[in-house]
Amino acid sequence: MIKSQITLKQLEAFAFVVDTGTFRAAAFALGTTQPNISARITALESALNVTLLIRDAGSVRLTADGEKLLVKTREVLWAGE
């Protein structure tokens, strides 16, 4: 059983941050705010107890855990379309 809840919005935010390269661009693409995207990513990392993204002066890089989750995230999002 999964103890923590992971939402599609969190996974979508994660994929958009990776695809657009910034939290701000992901927020714009998803029609929300940068703090909302940041909260989704933080909640996702907390639920999984891993660091998914390395945040550097306005840009982001995937960690090894982030790379693994991105593959699964894309599968889930594509299945939902």
Name the one residue in this structure whose structure tokens are 């992901």.
26
Angle at 32 (CA atoms; ends 68, 43), nearest 5 degrees? 40
Domains in the chain (CATH in brackets) are 8-80 (1.10.10.10)
Name the one residue in this structure whose structure tokens are 């982001």.
60
Reported pTM: 0.90
Query: What would the pLDDT profile of 37-78 be if each residue is shown by its tens digit?
Result: 999 999 999 999 999 999 988 789 999 999 999 999 999 999
